[in-house]
Every structure is written in C-alpha cells, then in structure tokens.
C-alpha cells in the first residue's frame, strides 16, 4: 500500500527555486528532505516546519555517496535535482574559458544524472525523478541563440535524461524534465516573468498530477509539453 505521507528529496535547495519548492511541498503536506552545499539560513529555518536539511554537492561523488548512506532507510515519491549554474553564460561561446564550459557541462548535464543513478532505487513504485531543465535547453526553440554554454548544457541534460530513461526502460518510476519559466532568483535576475512561489506551485501541480506515471516528458511549470 502507498504511504499517504509523500516524501520528496529536493537537491539544491539553499535558495531560489529549490528553496521555494521545499516550502511549497511542505505546505502541501509532503515530508521533505532538502539539501544544500554549505550552511543556508533560509533552508535551515524550514526545519521548524519539518524539513530535514541535508548536505551534498552533486559534483562530488563521495558527498553523494555519504548522503545515500545517511538516507539509508528512506524512500521517496519524488527526487528532484534542482541544482544548476551559469558560467559566464551571457558571453558568446568563444569568449568563455574552456574550464568554465567544462564546469557548466559537468554540473548541469552530468552530475544530475549521476545523482539519479545513485538514488533511483530509493524511489517508491510510481514515484518520479525530476530534473530541472530549461526552455533554453530546447534545441527546437533555439532560434535566437544567446546563453550558449548554458543552453547547450541543458540540451545535454535533456539528452542524458533520455538516455537514463532508456537505460531504465523497465522502470516503475517516471522521468520529468521541467522548465520553471523565467523566474526571479539569483540566476534569473530581477526582471524575470515569475516569482519563485508561482513557479514552484506550478511545478508542484505538474508533479502531483503525474504521480504514478512511468513515462518521460519535457514540460513547463504549466504542464505544457516543450519541443526537444
């Protein structure tokens, strides 16, 4: 029988969308385990509302393995890898140092999949693994260019998530790539279309509506399908 208390693991919740998703799922009655890399007062204050605050850096295998050990007895209805970075991404590709490109690709496109490989066996049957993608990761929608290394990293995340889904074709969990909209965070900046609460509520609606599904989808925060 399915546990009526759903449990989410939100990875990259120190601030921005991860923090907003943690608040949103707690308000909706979920049990939430949320991670940060270093001390994050905004997230730690949510302990009072029941959040379990944990530590991990998705770029560090030992740190991910240690988290897995600490969460040994836990299962999750949702694992949401939210963490992501920009790396001089407002500059054209040729103006960015190679090492910066490498870091953006590692954090945005590779580490989320490694995390999923380490944790997918902790999902309950009918659970969901979600990756925070971006509309900028859609190759089909890239008519104007810009944000080149970031776009490419999210397109690579989408491709790697499709490969992950194919590798686990017999899975009993769903795989989602989610676009939160353009959101006012440290990354999104002040002129963004949406506040964190609106985007997080939309993303939570999409995730809750798809509970029990085992397919793969690339959706925005309103549940609209995006072209690959």
Point out which residues bind ligand NAP (CB under 6 A).
12, 14-18, 36-38, 57-59, 82-85, 107, 132, 134, 179-180, 182-183, 185-188, 192
Name the residue nearer to ligand NAP (CB basis): 67 or 165: 67
Name the residue with tokens 């944790």.
Answer: 119
Q: How far is CA 206 from CA 7, 28, 92, 115, 228, in A?
A: 16, 14, 34, 22, 18
CB of 194 to ligand NAP, least distance (A): 8
If you write DSSP's letter for every residue of 169-201 in order, what string do you get?
TT-SSEEEEEE--SB-STTT-TT-SB-HHHHHH
Q: Minimum distance between the CB of residue 124 and ligand NAP, rounded to whole angstroms?
A: 24
Nearer to ligand NAP, 12 or 202 (CB): 12
φ, ψ for residue 137, nearest 5 deg: -80, -5
Measured from the CB of residue 19, what is the shortest distance to ligand NAP in angstroms? 7
Whether residue 101 contacts residue 150, with contact meaning beta carbons closer than 8 Å, is answered with no
Question: Residue 38: CA atoms inside 13 Å, Cβ hemisphere, count?
Answer: 0
- Minimal distance, residue 213 CB to ligand NAP, in Å: 22
Smaller CB separation from ligand NAP, 6 or 179: 179
R_g of the chain, CA atoms, integer Å: 16
Nearest distance from C-beta of residue 181 to ligand NAP, angstroms: 7
At 94, which helix (H) or strand (E)?
none
Q: Which is nearer to ligand NAP, 120 or 151 (CB)?
A: 151
DSSP output for 66-80: HHHHHTTT--EEEEE
CB closer to ligand NAP out of 15 and 28: 15
CB of 89 to ligand NAP, least distance (A): 10
Closest residue by Cα to residue 130 from 164, 170, 86, 167:
164
Measured from the CB atom, the residue of 29 and 189 that comes closer to ligand NAP is 189
Question: Is the separation of the CB atoms in 63 and 36 below 8 Å?
Answer: no
């Amino acid at each position: 029988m399915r546990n009526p208390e759903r449990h989410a693991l939100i990875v990259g919740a120190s601030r921005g969308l991860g923090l907003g998703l943690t608040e949103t799922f707690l308000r909706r009655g979920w049990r939430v385990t949320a991670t940060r890399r270093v001390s994050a007062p905004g997230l730690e204050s949510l302990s009072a509302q029941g959040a379990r605050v944990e530590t991990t850096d998705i770029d560090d295998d030992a740190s991910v393995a240690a988290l897995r050990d600490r969460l040994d007895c836990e299962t999750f209805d949702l694992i949401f890898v939210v963490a992501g970075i920009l790396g001089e991404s407002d500059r054209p590709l040729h103006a960015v140092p190679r090492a910066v490109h490498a870091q953006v690709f590692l954090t945005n496109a590779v580490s989320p999949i490694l995390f999923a490989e380490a944790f997918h066996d902790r999902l309950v049957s009918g659970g969901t693994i979600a990756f925070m993608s971006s509309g900028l990761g859609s190759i089909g929608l890239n008519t104007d260019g810009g944000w080149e290394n970031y776009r490419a990293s999210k397109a690579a995340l989408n491709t790697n998530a499709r490969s992950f889904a194919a590798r686990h074709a017999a899975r009993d969990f769903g795989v989602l790539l989610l676009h939160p909209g353009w959101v006012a965070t440290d990354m999104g900046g002040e002129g963004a279309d949406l506040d964190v609460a609106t985007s997080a509520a939309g993303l939570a609606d999409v995730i809750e509506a798809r509970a029990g599904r085992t397919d793969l989808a690339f959706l925005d925060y309103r549940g609209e399908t995006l072209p690959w």
